[in-house]
Structure 1
Amino acid sequence: MGVGATEAPVGAGSMPKGRQLYVVLGALMLAMLLAALDQTIVSTALPTIVGELGGLDHLSWVVTAYLLAATASTPLWGKLGDQYGRKRLFQASIVIFLIGSALCGIAQNMAELVAFRALQGLGGGGLMVLVLAIVGDVVPPRDRGRYQGLFGGVFGISSVVGPLLGGWFVDNLSWRWVFYINLPIGVLALLAIAAVLHAPSRRERHRIDYLGILLIVGWSVGLVLLATWGGTTYAWVSPQIIALGAGAAVLIAAWVLVERRAAEPVMPPRLFAHPTFTLGSAIGFVVGFAMFGALTFLPIFLQVVHGVTPTMSGVHLLPMMAGMLVSSIGSGQLISRTGRYKIFPVLGTPIVAVALWWCSRMDEATSTLSTGLRFALLGFGLGMVLQVLVIAVQNVVPYEDLGAATSGVTFFRQIGGSFGVAVFGSIFSNRLAHNMEGVLRGMPPGFDPAAVQGDPKAMDRLPPRIRGEFVHAYAESIQTVFLWAVPIVLVGFVLTWFLREVPLRATSHTRDYGEGFGGAPTYRSSQNEIERALSELMRQDAKATELYARLGRIAEVDLPAGSMWALCRIAREGTIRGDALAERAGVPAEQGRPYVNRLVENGLVRRHDGELTVTPAGREVAGRLVAARRAGLARHLEGWEPEEHPELARLLSKLADESLGDDADVKVFAGTTPAR
């Protein structure tokens, strides 16, 4: 929430319309797709990248660096966008993302690739958080839920397409094209946004918590390094690991102190006083741990142990993505209909645990059908948990903490993903080194084990018997990874039983598809969250004709729906030409004229030289219709106390005014004309 807010006037003419709107939305969807793809597209290319650049022990950081940078930067991008305008910052985030992509494509070693992935993640965080904010700037309130649902669906597409694209580029071009492909698409989005996005955005003054953001990055990186290096690069009791642990603890303590004093903390410490937030964050951490860890190491299993191509490893992952999409969409629909949500994480987490245990039994002899069933079960369990945690948290926190709580749950899920990849990588490296020792005892003198251990593709050059032993060593190592994940997920299962289920608020019945598909870290203020939910509820309203008829009965206005639409539109504009009003309604002037005639005859509108002007009586009638609409919207906010939060009261009035006489309601002119 800003300490002071001013709104740039956004009139009807300032928003893009028609083809221009579709160009803007297309460019925004391309940008969102780029950022979302780069969470998954690298997974199927990792074995080849490691084979060319070496550094198997750094493999997990190719994924972790992107996740950490994107997660930590989202609140900064969000607040800067609120304060300075989103268009230029969005363009800057695209440029940073493209520079990072180009540098990743030319990286010559793993250290460079990891650093450039962090830069890419910094830009990706801006793309993900600013896209939906810009949608709110350019799309009328009634349509926002529909369009934001489409953007959420981009995450579903990226989760399916990412591994396939990564594998295809490796097989047909080079792993470097995993990053180069971003350049032409990003430039196209950049040019389109520069050319057609002109709508001003709402500006809010913020006191940005720079120190809090830096401390989050510090302790997150410290803990992930601890998980990565502990027991592999350094012993657990080594001075380096002890220093890392102590440093992370100090940074966490400093972060808590800073957040308590910050005017606008990134994550207010008081959130952790809510048991549901603490439990939701912990369960989200576990789910992110399992999801991103699996997405990173399953392609390695498929390519090294089963010997499939990178493209086919992406195909083999489709059952997991399909299971995730089916269960996330299905659970969201059931929650909306029944209002019950606790059952889904209670059932989903043990399904994930069983699937991970089943994956730990895979080896080089496991059939394609069997691996597909295991992957589908894993995805199905994950999808049952992903969006429920956000719903549970949003349903219990007070309004002032709504935005921070939503961002906090997704933050801990992303951090869990970073830890999952790091811990899985550490376990894998340890176990692989141990398994290789047994295999190497039978190798001829002079054999270089590092060549095979650091480059999985080097096994293809070995004799069949020796290669089989190395493949089995890889299989056992990856088995251990999934086996260790089982107890962690079971801890999450225990935590789900302590989630408190309370009756859903009306706004919690709306679905955020970005969360349902395990999407990106988010930054939305409390007002943004309420506006998103109200927009979705408005989209689910009755047909326009029925809505206006109901409002007419409540406000005691005896006019046909088309006349009420025209009155509200004319009242909003003050004065408008008749032909312009017909154009806004999307009907021929002769079709709309009887509705306007009714307003003129009743003294609500004055016609002069083709111009229509609302009269004082007409403004009073339009005001009654808007008041009836506002009262209906206010019922959706039961439990949020809009009377205690002036910005919520202003939001209700704004949405009520903008949603009457808008372009989404032009169907009120279909059918018969009113009696004269």
Structure 2
Amino acid sequence: MGKMQKKEFIIRGFTQEVIMGKNKYVFWGLVITTLISALDANIMQTASPTIVKQLGGMQLFAWIFVVYMLASTVTVPLYGKLSDMYGRKKLLIIAVGIFTLGSILCGMANSMVTLVIYRGIQGLGAGGMIPLSMIIVGDLFTIEKRGKIQAVFSSIWALSSIVGPVLGSFFVEALTWRWIFFINIPIGIATVLCLIPYKEQVQFKKTYIDYKGFFLFGIAITLLLLATNVSNPLWYAAAGLVVLLIFILVERRESYPFLPVSLFKNKGIFRTNLFMLVYCVSFFGTSNFIPLFLQEGNNMSIYKSGLILLSIAVGWMFGSTPAGNWIIRFGYKKLFIIGSFITVFSGLALYIFVQDISYASLFMILTVQGFSFGLLFAVGTIASQEFADADIKGISTSLQMFLRNIGTSIGVTIMGVLINQAANVVIGMQNVFLFALIFSIITVILSFLIPAKTPAAQAI
């Protein structure tokens, strides 16, 4: 090897090492982003009663959660669209900044009205944090590694569902509830510092943004989501559907629509998104009610009933970690079929044995179901990125996450009604499992419609 070749080789190797080093810091930045999102959602569940007691305004209690959900859900597609134009790094730093600012304001709130407003600001930031993190993962890492990284993120969410309430109780009892918001300040700063070394290699294309379409879309989805959180939902649902129809009519005439037409003409993206929407309506939301079922139906302690959710985390890790390698080996279609069948069989076991199920048996079944969750969510996220062209990868990824949120909201709302109308929580839970089982069977049918490979992979 000549001197020039040797020198070039050393420089190239050093450059790759530097990039990997920087990617490591970016990875930890994304982990921290996921952590603050997960902790915020779970800490609030514990601290909110104390907050209302101190600030007053019990009639606004639900809006602490509703306004956050609305803001964080509606803005997801916009963040994805903007990231395709201006880059993921800038948008993620802005999203973390907005979230941190909202956290500071929430910690300083002196009334329920101001707290609700500030929670909305928090939600505007939160809407970009998780989707943009997933998009950056798609830009930086190979398909094989993405499943493992998603397993880490999923484990953070699962563990936060247990750690969050405990941490919330500590802040409320030992310090003040305001620290559940102020704790986000150093975490937000750490996230930004980790992202600074990140140099994006993707070429971004600046295009026209259809803000008219975004606002119509946002209003329609807001009304539909409100229909799941108010006592008289019909008017909200009807109004939401009317605005959604107007959105579709307006977008058909738009040269550069907010949601690109290619997203719906692409069979891989469209069918994968439809699958994930229906899948999230089914069993994904049942984990919200299982601790309640154990507490009310089996007189179990709060901590033991919460620990049952570790089963889903364990299963999720085993399902998502090898997902990238399995995609290369088996393709998308087979994995969607296998994952949906596992969900059906584990769901059938939950429905049949729910009345006399032991804690150990429930743990085992939920572990199996968690495996299918991890597998399908990892494969679904990767599919939304790999089926999409480079210039719409951001909006494609964020659209799927948006549809997951919508599906989960619909499913949880219906499940809540089924439990509330049942004679007792055990019968209510059985009705919930039956409802979820029916929708999971639909996902089995949909799984057979998903392409096995991306067009690029088929051409090889």
Structure 2 length-normalised TM: 0.75
| SS in structure 1 of the partner of residue 255 of structure 2 | coil
Aligned to 1:221: 222
Distance in 1 between residues matched to 2:432 and 2:95, nearest whole Å = 38
| SS in structure 2 of the partner of residue 497 of structure 1 | helix
Using CA pairs under 8 Å that are at least 6 residues apart, name the structure with larger relative contact order, 1 or 2: 2
| SS in structure 1 of the partner of residue 345 of structure 2 | helix
Deviates more, 1:218-227 or 1:78-87: 78-87
Aligned to 1:530: none
Higher helix proportion: 2
Contact 1:71 1:414 in 2 (8 A): yes
Across the two proteins, how many residue pairs are aligned to each other?
Answer: 439
1:431 pairs with 2:421? yes
Which residues of 2 match residues 260-339 of structure 1 at below 5 A?
260-268=252-260, 272=264, 279-290=271-282, 293-302=285-294, 310-329=302-321, 333-339=325-331
Q: Kindly provide the amino acid, as one letter, of the partner of residue 223 in structure 2.
A: G
Contact 2:282 2:439 in 1 (8 A): no
| SS in structure 1 of the partner of residue 316 of structure 2 | helix
Contact 2:102 2:121 in 1 (8 A): yes
Identity of aligned residues (%): 28
Distance in 2 between residues matched to 1:384 and 1:16, nearest whole Å = 32
Aligned to 1:35: 37
For the structure 1 residues 334 and 292, does the alpha-carbon distance in structure 2 shift closer, same or farther, using more than 3 Å as the test? closer
The offset of 1:335, in angstroms, is 4.4
| SS in structure 2 of the partner of residue 166 of structure 1 | helix
Which residues of 2 match residues 47-66 of structure 1 at below 5 A?
49-50=48-49, 53=52, 65-66=67-68
The offset of 1:500, in angstroms, is 3.9
Contact 1:327 1:381 in 2 (8 A): yes
> CA deviation digits over 1:68-114, x for unaligned, max 9?
43343233223334444554433321121113334555667877666
Aligned to 1:351: 345
Distance in 2 between residues matched to 1:50 and 1:488, nearest whole Å = 30
Contact 1:360 1:480 in 2 (8 A): no
Distance in 1 between residues matched to 2:378 and 2:345, nearest whole Å = 16
Larger-gyration structure (1/2): 1
Distance in 1 between residues matched to 2:127 and 2:190, nearest whole Å = 19
Aligned to 1:581: none
Counterpart of 1:244 (choices 206, 227, 236) is 236
Q: Kindly provide the amino acid, as one letter, of the partner of residue 36 in structure 2.
A: L
Counterpart of 1:491 (choices 425, 436, 439) is 439
Which residues of 2 match residues 64-75 of structure 1 at below 5 A?
65-75=67-77
Contact 1:78 1:129 in 2 (8 A): yes
Distance in 1 between residues matched to 2:305 and 2:400, nearest whole Å = 31
| SS in structure 1 of the partner of residue 186 of structure 2 | helix
Contact 1:100 1:119 in 2 (8 A): yes
Distance in 2 between residues matched to 1:332 and 1:135, nearest whole Å = 13
> CA deviation digits over 1:194-244, x for unaligned, max 9?
5x4577874421211222222232222222222333xxx23xxxxxx4432
Distance in 2 between residues matched to 1:403 and 1:88, nearest whole Å = 13
The offset of 1:401, in angstroms, is 7.5
> CA deviation digits over 1:575-610, x for unaligned, max 9?
xxxxxxxxxxxxxxxxxxxxxxxxxxxxxxxxxxxx
The offset of 1:251, in angstroms, is 1.0
For the structure 1 residues 105 and 388, does the alpha-carbon distance in structure 2 shift closer, same or farther, using more than 3 Å as the test? same
1:257 pairs with 2:249? yes
Aligned to 2:7: none
The offset of 1:312, in angstroms, is 4.1
Deviates more, 1:25-34 or 1:399-408: 399-408
Distance in 2 between residues matched to 1:352 and 1:214, nearest whole Å = 41
Contact 1:37 1:158 in 2 (8 A): no
Contact 1:168 1:311 in 2 (8 A): no
Aligned to 2:409: 418
Q: Kindly provide the amino acid, as one letter, of the partner of residue 102 in structure 2.
A: G
Distance in 1 between residues matched to 2:266 and 2:19, nearest whole Å = 44
Distance in 2 between residues matched to 1:489 and 1:424, nearest whole Å = 12
Aligned to 1:158: 156
For the structure 1 residues 57 and 487, does the alpha-carbon distance in structure 2 shift closer, same or farther, using more than 3 Å as the test? farther
For the structure 1 residues 353 and 17, does the alpha-carbon distance in structure 2 shift closer, same or farther, using more than 3 Å as the test? closer
For the structure 1 residues 97 and 151, does the alpha-carbon distance in structure 2 shift closer, same or farther, using more than 3 Å as the test? farther
| SS in structure 2 of the partner of residue 207 of structure 1 | coil
Contact 2:33 2:191 in 1 (8 A): yes
Contact 2:80 2:396 in 1 (8 A): no
> CA deviation digits over 1:517-554, x for unaligned, max 9?
xxxxxxxxxxxxxxxxxxxxxxxxxxxxxxxxxxxxxx
The offset of 1:348, in angstroms, is 3.1
Structure 1 length-normalised TM: 0.54
> CA deviation digits over 1:367-393, x for unaligned, max 9?
432442343344244345434556777
Contact 2:283 2:433 in 1 (8 A): no
Query: Tell me, which stretches of 5 or more residues in structure 2 are unaligned?
Result: 1-11
Distance in 1 between residues matched to 2:20 and 2:245, nearest whole Å = 52
| SS in structure 2 of the partner of residue 228 of structure 1 | coil
> CA deviation digits over 1:456-489, x for unaligned, max 9?
xxxxxxxxxxxxxxxxxxxx24741551352354
Distance in 2 between residues matched to 1:259 and 1:482, nearest whole Å = 42
Q: Kindly provide the amino acid, as one letter, of the partner of residue 215 in structure 1.
A: L
Contact 1:355 1:377 in 2 (8 A): no
Distance in 2 between residues matched to 1:292 and 1:392, nearest whole Å = 19
> CA deviation digits over 1:117-167, x for unaligned, max 9?
443232123223444555688x6xxx6657755643432221332112113
Distance in 1 between residues matched to 2:234 and 2:405, nearest whole Å = 25
Aligned to 2:81: 79
For the structure 1 residues 201 and 406, does the alpha-carbon distance in structure 2 shift closer, same or farther, using more than 3 Å as the test? closer
Aligned to 1:46: 45
Aligned to 2:170: 172
Distance in 2 between residues matched to 1:18 and 1:402, nearest whole Å = 22
Aligned to 1:546: none
The offset of 1:412, in angstroms, is 1.7
The offset of 1:257, in angstroms, is 1.7
Distance in 2 between residues matched to 1:390 and 1:324, nearest whole Å = 14
| SS in structure 1 of the partner of residue 355 of structure 2 | coil
